[in-house]
Amino acid sequence: MFLWRLNTEQRQIFMAMATRMAMADAKVPPAEVRLLDDFAASLETNISASGEAVFMSPDLSIFDTHESRIIMVLGILAVALSDDHFHVDESAVLHQVTDAFSISPEKLQALREWAERIVATYNDFHDLIEDGNSG
């Protein structure tokens, strides 16, 4: 999901925020774990989110371009939507980011719609893979 376009520091904060999003509702279902694992693998580095990074207040100012901000929002939206349930606590994490980035409600809606399509395609892909493993 375009994570390769982020620099190393942005990737570290992204993984921390994606992990925070997954943990926000106190449940981390397999779909969220799979997506986080795929995010980490796509970074092609040893970037992971430490417990400290997940719970600290991130320096979102390092997302200093429109592109990096959109990548961050799309990524954490994908995590929130990957289990087909958008919890109120996930909304709080999302709004922390969108408020810091001054993303309008209209832009957020457009990003959410795009993330929903990506998650549906992503889940379809994994369903096909799992079907192949069963016979």
Q: Can you list the domains of the chain with their CATH numbers?
A: 3-122 (1.10.3680)
Give the predicted TM-score (pTM) of the model: 0.85
Tens digit of each residue's pLDDT (9 = 90 or more) over 80-89: 998 877 878 8
Tens digit of each residue's pLDDT (9 = 90 or more) over 27-77: 888 888 888 888 888 876 565 555 555 567 788 999 999 999 999 999 999
CB neighbour list of residue 112: distance below 8 Å, 6 or more residues apart = 77, 81
For residues 117 and 28, give the distance between their C-alpha atoms in angstroms, rounded to a whole number.
Answer: 21
Q: Are residues 72 and 14 in contact, defined by beta-carbon separation less than 8 angstroms?
A: yes
For residues 39 and 34, give the distance between their C-alpha atoms in angstroms, rounded to a whole number.
Answer: 9
